[in-house]
Structure 1
Amino acid sequence: MTDDVQGDRPPVTRPAGFVEPEIYYAGLATVYVVAGALITDSAGRVLLVKPNYLDHWLLPGGTADEGEPPEATCAREVKEEIGLDLPVGPLLFVGWGPARAPRPRPMLTFIFDGGDLDRPERIRLQEDEVDDHAFLPPDEACRRLGPVGHRLAPALRARETKIPHYLSEA
C-alpha cells in the first residue's frame, strides 16, 4: 500500500498497483459504433441506400458521433440520408466485427426496426453522400448489401420473433 498526502486532509491509502482513472480508461479497448434502420414497404421489401463512397448498398444509417447512443445515431442518420424523421423501434441486431484494414478498431453494428414506410415518395436523399435508394425483396437486398448482407436475415427474423440477434463476425 502507498500513502498520498493531500494538503490538510488525511492521507489516502491506495493499494499497490493502483492506476489513476484517466490512465486506466485511456488504456481500455475502444470500438466504432454504427447504427441503421430496417425499413420496409407494405410489400415487405427492404429499403436500401447506395452511398457514393462504397461499391455496395446499405441500410439507412451511419456512424455514431462522440458520446451518441446507437438509437440516436440511427434516428439522426435516417433523417440525414433519406430526409425522414422516423421513430426508432426495437433493437433487432447487434454485430461485432474485428478491426480490419483500413479500420484500426473493432466495429459494433446496431440495427433497429424502422417500421413500414407507407409513403415512400416522401424520401429525400442526402445528395452529398447517397446516390440512390430502392425497396428490394429480401434476397435481392441481401445480394446488394455485399459484405454486410449476412446481417439482413437475422434482423428480419428478429423483427418477427421480437428476439434481437447477436452475431460475432470474428
Structure 2
Amino acid sequence: MTSGDFWTHLPTKLVGAGALLTDDAGRFLVVEPTYKPEWEIPGGVVEAGESPRTGVRRELREELGLAIDVTDLLVIDWSPPPPGQPGRPDGLMLVFDAGVLPADEAAHITLPADELRSHRWCTDAEAATLLAPRLARRMTAARKARAAGTLLYLEEGR
C-alpha cells in the first residue's frame, strides 16, 4: 500500500460546529431550518481543510448575517449514524461559546430565506420542545460547561 492509499482507507467522521449564543436574559438562540422539522442551533458542517472554530464563525455569518467572536470550546459530543440514514457516518459535534448578543445587535440578525425560516431565543425547557433530544441535551451541557468554565465530552448528548 502506498502512502496515498493509506489515507483513502481510513474511516471518516462528520464534524459539525455550532454556537451557544445567548441574549441578556440568558436564553439561547435556535433557528428553524426550511429543510427539516427539528430546530437547530446556529452552525453547521465543518468543510474540508477548515478549522471547527473557523467553520462556526463562517456559519454564523452565513446564517445570521453577523460577525461574532467565537471563544471557548464547550462540548464535544460523539454522535452515531442516525437510524434510517444509510451511509451517513458518525460524527463529532462541537459547541463553541459565542457569548452574549446584546439586543441592539440581535436586531440585525438576517436569515437566509432558502435555509432558515425563523429564529428565537429560548430556555432549556423551551428548547427541549423544539430540538432533537440529543441536541437539547448537548445544549444543556454547553450551558453548564460555560457556567463552570470547563469542556465536556458527551456521547449522544449524555
With normalisation by structure 2, the TM-score equals 0.91
> Which among 136, 140, 144 is matched to residue 122 of structure 2?
136
1:118-170 Cα distance to aligned partner (Å, 9 max, x none): 02101111111000000112210232112321111110000011111111229
Give a deviation string over 1:7-54, Cα, whole Å, max 9, x none: xxxxxxxxxxxx321111111111111101100000001111001111
* 1:156 counterpart (136, 140, 143): 143
Q: Whose strand fraction is larger, Structure 1's or Structure 2's?
A: 1
SS of aligned partner of 2:54: helix
Distance 1:154 1:45 in 2: 14
Matched with 2:12 is 30
SS state of the match for residue 12, structure 2? coil
Report the Cα distance in structure 1 between the residues aligned to 2:27 and 2:44, rounded to whole angstroms. 21
Asked whether the 8 Å contact 2:124–2:136 carries over to 1, the reply is no
Partner of 2:57: 75
Q: How many residues align?
A: 152
Measured in 2, the distance between the counterparts of 1:55 and 1:149 equals 15
After TM superposition, what 4+ stretches of structure 1 lie above 6 angstroms from structure 2? none
Q: Relative contact order, CA 8 A, sep 6+: which one is greater?
A: 2
| Residue ranges of structure 1 left out of the alignment (5+ in a row) | 1-18
Match of 1:53 among 35, 58, 63: 35
What TM-score do the two structures reach when normalised by structure 1? 0.85
Match of 1:127 among 113, 132, 139: 113
Rounded Cα–Cα distance in structure 2 between residues aligned with 1:98 and 1:56: 18
The secondary structure found in structure 1 opposite 2:69 is coil
**Is 1:115–2:99 an aligned residue pair?**
yes
Specify which of 48, 63, 79 is matched with residue 66 of structure 1. Answer: 48
Identity of aligned residues (%): 36
Deviation per residue, 1:44-89 (Å, 9 max, x gap) = 0111100111111111001111111111110000110010000011
